[in-house]
Amino acid sequence: MKRDGIFFIKFKTMKQKKFILLTLSLIVLFFASTFFASAAEFRFAKEGQNINVGEGERVENFYTVGNIVSIDGDVSNDLYTAGNVITIEGDVENNFAGAGRTVIIKGDVGNNAHIMGETVIIKGTVTEDLFIAGASVLIEKSAMIAGDLVIGAGKVDIEGSVLGDVYIGGNEVTLNGRIIGKTKLAVDTLKIGKNAEIVDDIKYTSSKKAQIHEDARVLAGLDFDKKALNASSKAPDTAGLLLFLLLLKIAACIVTGLVLVYFFNKKIKAVVTGGLKNVWGNIGVGFAVCLLTPVVMIILAVTVVGIQLAGLLLVLYIMLLALSSVIASIALGSFLIKVLKKKETFEVSWQEVVLGVMILKIVWFVPVIGWLLCATFSLLTMGSISKLAYKSIIKK
C-alpha cells in the first residue's frame, strides 16, 4: 500500500513476514560476506572452458563462472557460480547461489540455497531454506530440505523430505515425499503420489482437483480453491517470490560485472575513472546520446539507403544501454569505496562490483531519489563510454 508517497508491504501472516525478512537478510548477508571477506577465490573460465575443483581440494568464499562447473571438493563459507552445467558433489559450509542451464546438487548445503536453471536436481541436504526458479525441478528421494521450500517452475517433482513449509507456483506439480510443514500451491495439475506423506494442511489453487493415489497419506486438511490463479488473496507469497527474483537479478548483475572486470579491467577502469573525474560533463554527453540517437535512427529509417544504418545503430544503442547499466553499478561502488576508505584514486575490483550492484539495485525502490541516482550513474557511464569510443575512432 502507499502512504505519504512511500510504498509499504502489508504482511498477511507471520510466516510471510518471516519469509520476506529472510530474503532481505540474505541480500545483506551476501553483501557483508563478500565485501568484508578476508579470503575469497575467483575463477573465471575463458569462452568454452570448464571449471573443476577436485575431490580433496578445499576452497573458501568461492566465485566461479565457466561452461561446465564441477565442484567435487568442499567449500568453506559461501559458493556463487554460473555456467552451462553445474554439478556440486562436495559440501558447501554456508550459502549457495547458482544459475545455469542444468544445476545438480549432490552435496550438502549448510545454510540457504538459491538456484535458477532450466533443469534443477537436488540430491543432498539443505540445512535452511531452498529457493528455485526453473523449467523442471526434481527433489530426489535422498534429498532433505530442513527449512522452507519455495519453487517457481513448469514441472516440479518432490520425492524427498521437507521439514518446513512448501510454496510452489507451477504447471505440473507432483508431491511424492514427506512434507512436515504447510503446503501452499498455485498449479495447473497437482498429483499426490503413493509415497507421499503430507503431515500438515495443503491449500492449492487450480483449475481442477488433485489426482491422489490411494496409498498416499494426507494426514491433515486438503483445501481446494478453483478461483483464478491471479487472485491476490491466494497467490503464495507473491511478495516473497518477487524478492527472490530480485536476489537472482542482483546475483546475475554481480556475475556480469565480475566477468567484465576480470577480462576488460583496463577498459572498465578507464570508463569509471573518466566518468567520475568529469561527472557533469559526462552526464551531459550521456543525456545527449540517449536523446539524440533515437532521433538519428528515425531520420535514417525514412530513407532507403539509411535503413541498414538505422538497424546497425539500433543494435549499438541497445548494447550501449545494457553496458552502461552494468558499469554504472561499478562506478557507484568505486566512488563509495574511494570516499569510505579515503583512497586517492578510483579502483575497479570485485569489491566495487559487489557494493555498487547491491546499492544501486536496492535504492531503485526508493521513490524519486533512487531513480535519480540510477539515472545519474547510467548517464555518467554512457557519456564516458561514448567519449572513449569517439576518441578511439578519431585515433584510428
Do 234 and 319 belong to one domain? no
How far is the C-alpha of 150 from the C-alpha of 159, rounded, in Å? 15
Residue with cell 535512427: 297
Kindly state whether residue 206 falls inside one of the protein's structural domains: yes
Do 268 and 189 belong to one domain? no
Kindly state whether residue 275 falls inside one of the protein's structural domains: yes
**Rounded average pLDDT over 109-135:** 91
Q: What is the pLDDT of residue 15?
A: 46
- Point out the least confidently predicted range of 42-56, 64-78, 101-115, 367-381: 42-56
Q: Which residue range is the domain that position 68 belongs to?
A: 14-238
Do 132 and 273 belong to one domain? no
Do 144 and 182 belong to one domain? yes
Of the pLDDT bands very low, low, confident and very high (cuts 50, 70, 90), residue 91 is very high
Q: What is the pLDDT of residue 227?
A: 59
Do 74 and 144 belong to one domain? yes
Question: Does the pLDDT of residue 344 top 60, yes or no?
Answer: yes
Kindly state whether residue 185 falls inside one of the protein's structural domains: yes
Do 226 and 274 belong to one domain? no
For residues 257 and 136, the model is more confident at 136
pLDDT tens-digit series, residues 183-239:
999 888 999 999 999 999 999 998 888 999 999 999 988 888 875 544 444 444 454
Distances (CA, A) of 96 to 12, 114, 171, 195, 298: 29, 6, 26, 29, 47
Q: What is the pLDDT of residue 36?
A: 41
Do 166 and 294 belong to one domain? no
Give the sheet arrangement for strand 178-179, strand by strand: 125-126, 144-145, 161-162, 178-179, 197-198, 217-218
Q: What is the pLDDT of residue 29?
A: 43
Q: What is the pLDDT of residue 217?
A: 92
Do 224 and 290 belong to one domain? no
Do 125 and 268 belong to one domain? no
DSSP codes joined into one string, 269-328:
HHHHHHHHHTHHHHHHHHHHHHHHHHHHHHHHHTSTTTHHHHHHHHHHHHHHHHHHHHHH
Q: What is the pLDDT of residue 350?
A: 80
Half-sphere exposure (CA, 13 Å, Cβ side) for 269?
12
Do 140 and 279 belong to one domain? no
Quote the number of domains for the chain.
2
**Rounded average pLDDT over 337-362:** 83
Mean of all residue pLDDT scores within the chain:
81
Question: Does the pLDDT of residue 356 top 50, yes or no?
Answer: yes
Do 46 and 166 belong to one domain? yes
Of the pLDDT bands very low, low, confident and very high (cuts 50, 70, 90), residue 38 is very low
pLDDT tens-digit series, residues 238-274:
545 565 666 667 777 888 888 888 888 889 999 999 9
